[in-house]
A = this chain, B = another copy of it.
Amino acid sequence: MERFQQNPILSPADIPPALEGMTVESLLNPGAFRFDGKTWLLMRVAERPEQKPGRISFPVQRDGKVEIMDIDVSDPELDARDPRVISYKGSDYLTTMSHLRLVCSEDGIHFYEPGEGYGPIFGSGEYEGYGIEDCRVAVIDGLFYLTYTAVSRNGVAVGMMSTADWKSFRRYGLVLPPHNKDCALFEERIGGKYFMLHRPSSPEIGGNYIWLAESEDMQHWGNHRCILHTRPGRWDEARVGAGASPILTDKGWLEIYHGADRNHRYALGAFLMDKDDPSKVLARSSEPLMVPETPYETGGFFGNVVFTNGYIKDGDRITVYYGAADSVICGAAFSVNEILAGLE
């Protein structure tokens, strides 16, 4: 594994805010794909209202408009200890609102904003009022499918869109109900069916595990099975979640995933699923493939995080794009064969 020397390749200062009165707090966790002869990233851009002294301000979308909630820091009903989630009067809000933004590149390292028509993709409607996040991009039957975290007062769930041209989108609503995220589609059918990985969470009993689901039409999902648990006392003891689409190899479907420990350190690992029956996990990383080490990974908005949901594959080489410290976007090159050789 080799990090780009140019890391971070994208930082908040590189991208203008999409909404008036807001600043770009972070660039996070991009989906990645090839289109029109270029490499594209679909970044998550988290924007935050300007903060005034003694106040906490956070954005909420209502009836298609973004409103700013503005609370005195000494309000006893406010809990703002977590930099990501605010609790106020018994309800939870996000400190930032995320949308999705396209950038493209000829070399996969230097990215720029594409021309007219490739506008920001905002959350829309009742299930995306707190924004949309961490979008995976899969190519299935010649269409791009976007699966992303849809956040609203109703909960954290998985939304889906498709597009052929990245200018117009078909929206399918929520394909998975709350609490769910980290949804990665398989890019090929297996036994005639579509498959996805997803990551539900529970308020009690169970945990933050990776599940498999299947579908006949990409819109309706069933036969949910849990295929990867957290491992007590290890680097992925607290939560695991899929990255981007599984990579089809001679040995099976290879998935790069994130694992977090009790201290919220997010690292990357991999596991291998049976080619014909992906509910069978054949092997898994004992040690992480990548842990937060560099200053841009250990510092930042929410430090000690490397998180991926996008890669570009070119033979044995995969370029993994990842969010570092919930702040900036980075890249690193991996060898598929080396990852496979390191699994247990």
Chain A contact residue count (CB 8 A cutoff):
49
Instruction: Check B154–A92 contact: CB distance below 8 A.
Output: no
Q: A207 to B203: give the CA distance in the assembly, Å.
A: 10
A203 (CB) vs chain B CBs: closest residue: B203
Contact B224 A174 (CB under 8 A): yes
Q: Which residues, 72 to 114 on A, are CB-close (under 8 Å) to B?
A: 85, 90, 92-94
Within 8 Å by CB of A224, from B85, B157, B207, lies B157
A223, B176: Cβ atoms closer than 8 Å: no
Q: Which of A2-10, A210-218, A332-340 contacts B (4 or more CB under 8 A)?
A: A210-218
Closest B residue by C-beta to A205: B92
A200 at the interface (CB under 8 A from B): yes
Say how far A215's CB is from chain B's closest CB, in angstroms. Answer: 5
* CB-contacts of A141-193 with B (<8 A): 151-157, 172-180
Q: State whether A200 touches B220 (Cβ < 8 A).
A: no
Contact A155 B222 (CB under 8 A): no
Contact across chains for B200 and A178 when beta carbons are under 8 A apart? yes
Q: Which residue of B lies closest to A158 (CB)?
A: B224
Chain A contacts with B in 191-207, Cβ cutoff 8 A: 198, 200-207
A201 to B154, CA, bound (A): 10
- Set B90, B198, B202, B223: member contacting A201, Cβ < 8 A: B202
Q: Specify which of B154, B201, B203, B222 is in contact with A209 (CB 8 Å cutoff).
A: B154
Please tell me if A130 contacts chain B, counting CB pairs below 8 Å: yes
Does A219 make an interface contact (CB < 8 A)? Answer: yes
**A160: nearest chain-B partner, CB-CB:** B222
A274 beta carbon closer than 8 Å to chain B: no
Cα distance A127–B207 when bound, in Å? Answer: 13
Q: Does A126 interact with chain B (Cβ within 8 Å)? A: yes
Question: Is the beta-carbon distance between B224 and A176 smaller than 8 angstroms?
Answer: yes
Residue with the highest number of chain B CB atoms closer than 10 Å, among A93, A130, A202, A216:
A202
Closest A-B pairs by Cβ, 3 of them? A155-B206, A220-B220, A179-B202
Q: A127-B226, A155-B205 are in contact. List 4 more A-B contacts (CB 8 A).
A: A154-B226, A155-B209, A172-B223, A220-B223
Interface residues of A (CB under 8 A from B): 85, 90, 92-94, 126-127, 130, 151-157, 172-180, 198, 200-207, 209, 211, 213-217, 219-226, 232
